[in-house]
Structure 1
Amino acid sequence: MESNGTLQPCEVLVVGAYFADLVFHGLPRPVEPGGEVFADGFAWEAGGAFTPAMALRRLGRDVVWSADFGTDAFSAQVLASARREGLDASAFRHHPVPVRSVTVAMAYPGDRAMVSFQDPVEPVPLVPLLRRYRPRVLMVPQLRWDDEMVAAAEAARRLGTQVVMDCHDSPATLDDPAVRRVLSLIDVFTPNAAEALRLTGAAGPEDAIAELAGLVATLVVKRGADGATAVRGGERHDVPAVPVRPVDTTGAGDCFGAGLVHGLLDGRSLPDCLAAAVVCGAAATTGPGSSAALRADELAARLPLAAAPPLLEVNTSFR
């Protein structure tokens, strides 16, 4: 790391790998084996955990991002993007070898496909990071259920830090007791609808929501064109999607998470946090990668577009 490890309090600590997103958008049809498709547009954007860190920074938050970088060109490009966005570099680890993290995203009408590669790196210990930065929120962009994550969740609770965790196509299921344990320890879990179904094995989205809401203190489910759902303490809130003309959905979930955390830090109600998340996620789809992430004034101007319907109750007894 680039500092001496002394206490450096911040609002948000984001922990996760960068990705260099190579985005081909405007594809007329899916790419099939043996075929070739020409895209209408191409962009190179910094992605992975860079996206929520950058999006929170644009929203005016004091954010620290912990990530690993190497001697490769992808690391250099993402580091340059981090500097342009004014991200705190104190929790970066620099290695004397390549640390390549690359995703090729292919966006076509109604869907996308992605291919990724990542050089292995020993994860940074989370508990020392929490003690050093004392964040109000720890943001983990991927579901983790290892012993290190359990220790971090327990340490966060002692420090008064909220843990917000995404899913990101994790192969985990609730059949694993370790997964259930982690979900019971974190404060907010934000899978999308497909991830919730895979995680629970439920017959449909409503059953998946009910099961997960019985495990997690606050559940937030991203539902694409159907908006988003949040459940806390048996109370359910639904916010409809915001109409946009999408270009690429890469990074939209991470920007959604940034909007949600932004609202949590302001002490807003859960429906208002959900509305901010939906607006941020929708806006992100209007440009390739994370390029269209909103700034605070842009979010404030667009928030009236998202309106939460009346409060509902949900049965969380289903396990």
Structure 2
Amino acid sequence: MASRPAEAAVLIAGAYAVDLVLTDLRGPVRAGAEVWADGLDMVPGGAFTLAMGLHRLGRRAVWAADFGTDLFSRAVLAAARQEGMEEAGFRHHPRPVRNVTVALSDAKDRAMIAHEDPVAARPPAELIDAFRPSVVMLPFLQYGPDTTDALKTAARHGTRVFMDCQDHPGHIGMDDVRETLGRVDVFAPNESEALRVTGAATVEEALALLCELVPTVVIKRGPAGAVAAANGHRAVQGSPAVPVVDTTGAGDCFNVGFVHRWIDGSPLEDCLAAGVACGAAAVTGPGSGNALGVSELPAWLTRLPH
């Protein structure tokens, strides 16, 4: 196994987004109709949320991201620099690299429309070789030769892998998906994603099916909290009742809280509690703007139902 730097980082491999968040909708969103929103915010999102959230919790995060000459790239770069985030993984291109998501959000859910300028990302295996992280966070379900190479490289360096789903296509009936999930350490879909990926009828069935492939499975359940299982041990954590402004970025903030505790080898219950606390705090503001800092997390943990 290759050695890693003394201050090994969490590596986040994923694109930025700018979230244009429209809240307080005056009616339902439907084709052919105009609906007014009383709230509007423009906030950095995408993998920015993971890197920023970990940074606020005092973790060293290396974010591999691409930026261009467009105003959206400039806005996210400015936000990253204001947060004091590390820039070792940034690449700059002499053309626009726009990544924009319009989120139409109410207290129950959101509709999203996204645009992303194509750019060839650095292969994850190359990034793991370069930065030797202790943990790599993959923001969505990915599979195929490049992903397999990355996971083999992670295993060679002793790097643990946390993978979200983000509603990307794929299911456990596919050989490539099963191979990928068999190589990650944590898989963390939300409830609807878990049901789709497994074809299960219930969360409990989905959890059982995924646990046949992945050492640790986490299923995020929004206002119902989260459930997880690892090595035959099951844990459940409810969520506190909070005023919901926008659910955009809440799942990513949950991931940040979970990984923050998981890095240290904390019990599954503590990892879930930190995840739910960070996710609950996130929905009280637009986008990821209310991501918790390290000094704020303890107070939010006391608000969790037991």
Q: TM-score, normalised by structure 1?
A: 0.92
Aligned twin of 1:74: 72
Give unmatched runs, 5+ long, in structure 1. Answer: 1-5, 309-319
**What's the CA shift for 1:146?**
2.2
Q: Residues 115, 292 of structure 1: CA spacing in aligned structure 2 closer, same or farther, 3 A cutoff?
A: same
What CA deviation, in whole Å up to 9, does each residue of 1:262-282 have, x standing for no partner? 001232111101000000000
Alignment of 1:23-62 (within 5 A): 23-62=21-60
Does the Cα contact within 8 Å between 2:107 and 2:246 map onto a contact in 1?
no
Q: Which residue identity is paired with 1:136? A: S
Q: Take 1:206 and 1:30, find their aligned partners in 2: how far apart are those partners?
A: 32
Does the Cα contact within 8 Å between 1:9 and 1:133 map onto a contact in 2?
no
Q: Take 1:280 and 1:89, find their aligned partners in 2: how far apart are those partners?
A: 24
What CA deviation, in whole Å up to 9, does each residue of 1:157-187 have, x standing for no partner? 1211110010001111112100110000000
Q: Take 1:10 and 1:30, find their aligned partners in 2: how far apart are those partners?
A: 47
Q: Take 2:46 and 2:8, find their aligned partners in 1: how far apart are those partners?
A: 21
% identical aligned pairs: 51
Alignment of 1:182-261 (within 5 A): 182-261=180-259
> Alignment partner for residue 21 of structure 1, among 9, 19, 22?
19
Aligned twin of 2:172: 174
Partner-residue secondary structure (3-state), 2:20? strand
Aligned twin of 1:313: none
Partner-residue secondary structure (3-state), 2:234? strand
Does the Cα contact within 8 Å between 2:240 and 2:305 map onto a contact in 1?
no
Aligned twin of 2:284: 286
Aligned twin of 1:102: 100
**What's the CA shift for 1:7?**
6.8
Does the Cα contact within 8 Å between 2:170 and 2:177 map onto a contact in 1?
yes
**What's the CA shift for 1:65?**
0.3
Partner-residue secondary structure (3-state), 2:296? helix
Does the Cα contact within 8 Å between 2:27 and 2:36 map onto a contact in 1?
no
Q: Take 1:239 and 1:43, find their aligned partners in 2: how far apart are those partners?
A: 30
Is 1:277 the counterpart of 2:275? The answer is yes
Give unmatched runs, 5+ long, in structure 2. Answer: none
Aligned twin of 1:315: none
Q: Take 1:294 and 1:176, find their aligned partners in 2: how far apart are those partners?
A: 37
Does the Cα contact within 8 Å between 2:97 and 2:117 map onto a contact in 1?
yes
Is 1:149 the counterpart of 2:147? The answer is yes
The Cα RMSD (Å) is 1.5
**What's the CA shift for 1:9?**
5.2
Aligned twin of 1:10: 8
> Alignment partner for residue 83 of structure 1, among 81, 84, 89?
81
Q: TM-score, normalised by structure 2?
A: 0.96
Aligned twin of 1:128: 126
Aligned twin of 1:117: 115
Q: Take 2:115 and 2:298, find their aligned partners in 1: how far apart are those partners?
A: 37
Q: Which residue identity is paired with 1:22? A: L
Q: Which residue identity is paired with 1:15? A: A
Q: Residues 29, 108 of structure 1: CA spacing in aligned structure 2 closer, same or farther, 3 A cutoff?
A: farther
Q: Which residue identity is paired with 1:36? A: E
Does the Cα contact within 8 Å between 2:124 and 2:150 map onto a contact in 1?
yes
